């Protein structure tokens, strides 16, 4: 009996333990099931929210991408105008000077951006200055816009003189003594010879074709004689990065010579400008020496500044970013289709083309004794034709002076400005296309890693 009792108690205890184990594990199983279901629900909710999150970001505020930039710039422009209007009053309303400058500035920037969007395979990008120039030209020749966008001659003249000063400073800082010493012979020939020859040929052609006086002919010649680093330098850097012409230093040569070419053209223009409008030797000395002193002082300062020169160049580059759209927009604003003579455009284009042909032929002959082959000489001669920045600055100066002190000389000054405008419009895009398309065909390609070539990348101006 005792054994049976002990056996039954042990069996009961085992049954109780089993029940306890089952009762203890059952909540855990239920808890595990609940947690798994809860996690699945959370994962489903998170997955649904993650799927709908991009849609909510696209459909909800704040706006992003291009729309955000448009709204931000629009609000910023409105705030600038409101602040300016609160300070200046009527001058910021349509027809005022500040309103006109604001419209020209932003229209020129938009025009430059639109030109940058034009992409041609294997061809360098077109210079934005073309869009800036056409923006001012459009504002002037659309009746509704020209009625409300007006700028006084005093404001326009002051801004152009500031832009000329910035160009002269950047030209002086951009001269590298090491590059000039390394290629001094060929560089001097390339920078001085074609500029002087084109200036003389333009003087002769305009004298017989347009009945210009000789002093006005040479003034026009030095306006046309300057090549544009804004077009030449970027195109040369593209060819250099791809290894074209680097064995003989052709990109280096053209980059270095472009600044010297501008210096010579500006100096010659100042001298002829002083002769045309002089009433005594005081005017001759003032105008001829001003630009040259600016160039010399900045060049000497750049030599002594060493590493600090780069910081100054960056500052002047930022200043130029502001004055560039104003400069080219104001130049385009001066050209009126209604005021042009019936035969003025044809004669002006003929003068530009004939003078340019003389420049190309003379450049080819000068490079015949510099160690280049036939194809390289053709490329250098054709690359030495684009006009842009200097023409935009120098072209309207004679018209401004004539309006102030010599109204009887205004017809000549208008012709000079029209020819400068047409020279930019025809040679800048064609020059960029010629350099980009003919460079890989006419120049020998080498691996840039195998050829050590000392090149200082001069700043654009």
Q: What is the pLDDT of residues 134-161, one digit of tens each?
A: 888 888 888 888 888 888 877 887 887 7
CA atoms within 13 A on the CB side of 380: 33
Q: What is the C-alpha R_g of the chain?
A: 35
When pLDDT is cut at 50, 70 and 90, the band that residue 25 belongs to is: very low
Q: What is the percent of the chain with per-residue pLDDT over 70, rounded to a whole number? A: 76
* Whole-number pLDDT of residue 299: 75
211, 221 contact by CB (below 8 A): no
Residue 24 has pLDDT above 60, yes or no: no
Task: Supply the mean pLDDT for the chain.
Answer: 76
Residue 348 has pLDDT above 70, yes or no: yes
> Virtual CA dihedral for 2, 8, 9, 10, nearest 10 degrees?
110
Place of tokens 């003032």: 286
Greater model confidence, 49 or 98:
98
* Whole-number pLDDT of residue 176: 62
Greater model confidence, 253 or 305:
253
CA angle centred on 456, ends 315 and 174, rounded to 5°: 45
Q: For 437-449, what is the mean pLDDT?
A: 81
d(CA 286, CA 273): 11
* Whole-number pLDDT of residue 430: 84
Q: For 104-109, what is the mean pLDDT?
A: 89
* Whole-number pLDDT of residue 448: 64
* Whole-number pLDDT of residue 187: 82
- Residue 342, φ and ψ in degrees, nearest 5: -60, -35
351, 418 contact by CB (below 8 A): no
* Whole-number pLDDT of residue 2: 41
CA atoms within 13 A on the CB side of 162: 17
Greater model confidence, 365 or 82:
365
> Virtual CA dihedral for 443, 444, 448, 452, nearest 10 degrees?
-100
Residue 53 has pLDDT above 70, yes or no: no
Q: For 70-88, what is the mean pLDDT?
A: 79
Query: Whole-prediction pTM value?
Result: 0.68
Question: How confident is the model over 324-341, as pLDDT tens digits?
Answer: 888 888 878 877 777 777
Residue 183 has pLDDT above 80, yes or no: no
Greater model confidence, 117 or 51:
117
Domain 95-442 coded CATH 3.40.720.10: no
Q: Lowest-pLDDT range, 94-108, 135-149, 244-258, 275-289? A: 275-289
d(CA 456, CA 453): 10
Greater model confidence, 47 or 385:
385
Residue 5 has pLDDT above 70, yes or no: no
* Whole-number pLDDT of residue 201: 94
* Whole-number pLDDT of residue 175: 64
DSSP 210: S
Greater model confidence, 36 or 186:
186
Residue 256 has pLDDT above 80, yes or no: no
Q: Lowest-pLDDT range, 17-21, 128-132, 179-183? A: 17-21
* Whole-number pLDDT of residue 455: 42
Q: Cis omega (within 30 of 0) on the bond before 62?
A: yes
d(CA 221, CA 384): 16
Q: Lowest-pLDDT range, 88-92, 167-171, 175-179? A: 175-179
Greater model confidence, 303 or 373:
373
Length of the chain counted residue by residue: 461
Place of tokens 């100054």: 312
Question: How confident is the model over 191-233, as pLDDT tens digits?
Answer: 889 999 999 999 999 999 989 999 999 999 999 998 887 788 7
């Amino acid at each position: 009996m005792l054994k049976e009792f002990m056996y039954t108690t042990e069996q009961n205890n085992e049954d109780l333990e089993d029940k306890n184990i089952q009762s203890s594990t059952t909540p855990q199983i239920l808890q595990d099931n609940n947690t798994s279901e809860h996690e699945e629900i959370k994962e489903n909710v998170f997955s649904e929210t993650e799927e709908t999150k991009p849609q909510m970001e696209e459909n909800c505020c704040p706006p992003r991408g291009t729309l955000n930039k448009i709204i931000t710039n629009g609000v910023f422009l409105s705030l600038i105008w409101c602040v300016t209007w609160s300070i200046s009053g009527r001058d910021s309303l349509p027809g005022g000077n500040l309103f006109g400058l604001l419209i020209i500035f932003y229209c020129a920037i938009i025009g430059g951006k639109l030109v940058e969007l034009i992409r041609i395979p294997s061809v360098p990008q077109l210079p934005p200055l073309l869009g800036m120039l056409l923006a001012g030209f459009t504002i002037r020749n659309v009746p509704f816009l020209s009625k409300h966008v007006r700028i006084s001659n005093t404001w326009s003249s002051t801004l152009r003189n500031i832009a000329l000063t910035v160009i002269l400073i950047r030209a002086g800082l951009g001269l590298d003594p090491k590059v000039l010493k390394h290629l001094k012979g060929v560089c001097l020939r390339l920078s001085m010879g074609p500029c002087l020859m084109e200036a003389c040929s333009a003087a002769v052609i305009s004298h017989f074709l347009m009945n210009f006086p000789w002093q006005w002919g040479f003034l026009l010649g030095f306006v046309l004689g300057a090549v544009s680093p804004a077009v030449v330098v970027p195109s040369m850097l593209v060819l250099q990065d791809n290894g074209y012409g680097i064995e003989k230093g052709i990109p280096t040569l053209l980059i270095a010579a472009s600044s010297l070419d501008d210096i010579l053209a500006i100096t010659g223009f100042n001298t002829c400008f002083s002769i045309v409008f002089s009433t005594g030797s005081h005017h001759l000395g003032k105008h001829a020496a001003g630009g040259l002193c600016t160039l010399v002082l900045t060049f000497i300062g750049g030599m002594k500044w060493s590493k600090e020169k780069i910081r100054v160049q960056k500052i002047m580059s930022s200043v130029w970013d502001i004055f560039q759209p104003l400069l080219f927009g104001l130049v385009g604003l001066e050209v009126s289709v209604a005021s042009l003579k019936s035969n003025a455009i044809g004669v002006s284009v003929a003068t530009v083309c004939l003078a340019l042909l003389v420049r190309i032929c003379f450049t080819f002959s000068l490079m015949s004794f510099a160690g280049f082959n036939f194809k390289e000489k053709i490329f250098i001669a054709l690359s030495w034709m684009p006009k842009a920045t200097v023409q935009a600055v120098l072209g309207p100066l004679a018209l401004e002076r004539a309006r102030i002190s010599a109204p009887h000389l205004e017809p000549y000054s208008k012709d000079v400005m029209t020819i400068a405008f047409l020279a930019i419009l025809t040679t800048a895009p064609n020059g960029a296309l010629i350099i980009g398309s003919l460079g890989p065909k006419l120049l020998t390609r080498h691996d840039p890693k195998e050829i050590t070539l000392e090149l200082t990348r001069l700043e654009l101006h």
